[in-house]
Amino acid sequence: MKLKEIAVGLIHLLYPRLCEGCAKPLLAAEQVLCTGCHAHLPKTEYHDINDNDTALRLAGRIPFQYATSFAYFTNDGLLQHLMHGLKYKGRKEIGIYLGRQFGIDLSGSTWATGIDFILPVPLSRRKEASRGYNQSALIAKGMSSTLNIPVLYGTLLRTRDTESQTQKSRAERINNMKDAFTIHTPQLLAHKHVLIIDDVLTTGATIEACALALKDVPDVKISIASIGLAT
């Protein structure tokens, strides 16, 4: 056995990696979730269904090609637990993991192979500085690794801080996000098919504002994806 393998084995023995779902030690090939907990992720599995719940929430509000979500986001559910760790406990590996798993699922969808760029929804500078990272960018990075589609960082930009959306109505959320985004180097996106990725979609106000920022880009096609779909 090589010294490196011995060292890794000792590290795992002294500091075991635990499943984010059940807190049991992970096997060497497992990441973030054990096989059993991964099987219990409430996946939507409707990536090739045009009139799915994600698409219907956005229908008539913005022009888009396809819209889908990875899993259902419920109070006290497994995905909520994972997202809490990602956003508030510095567990950046959760974002990469979820992005990879989403990318694996989307790799079987013919429309996803036509995407030119992935655009993560940006955080405000203040919030990203406080958190130390943008969770949507980590998700996009994971998706890119399995879909082999480049991520464009710094192209979709947030122009101002916005208030928390948590306690707002749909109308209040839309007004809160109005003109909150802009596009840097729009010529880069002209005649391209882009995938906007967010962490959790509730009313769709954030995604709508991002898509509207693209309205003046010539012949751009927009598709939408979120890790969670709030129920």
Name the residue range of residue 214's domain.
41-230
CA distance 202 to 227: 11
CA distance 98 to 211: 23
Shared domain check, 102 and 10: no
Shared domain check, 61 and 15: no
Shared domain check, 85 and 4: no
CA distance 164 to 219: 33
The answer to whether the beta carbons of residues 44 and 230 sit under 8 Å apart is: no
Classify the C-alpha dihedral 208-210-213-218 as positive or negative: negative
**DSSP string of 110-154?**
GGGGG--EEEEPPPPHHHHHHHSS-HHHHHHHHHHHHH---B-TT
Q: Quick one: pLDDT at residue 8? A: 47
Shared domain check, 63 and 81: yes
What's the CATH code of the domain at 47?
3.40.50.2020
Shared domain check, 158 and 49: yes
Shared domain check, 131 and 19: no
Shared domain check, 21 and 115: no
pTM (2 d.p.): 0.89
Q: Quick one: pLDDT at residue 159? A: 86
Shared domain check, 50 and 33: no
- State pLDDT tens for residues 145-167: 999 999 999 999 998 766 565 55
Q: Which residues of the chain have pLDDT under 70?
A: 1-15, 161-178
Closest CA to 195 of 87, 70, 92: 70
Q: Quick one: pLDDT at residue 7? A: 47
Shared domain check, 105 and 20: no
Shared domain check, 224 and 168: yes
Shared domain check, 207 and 156: yes
Per the structure, the count of domains in the chain is 2
Shared domain check, 213 and 131: yes
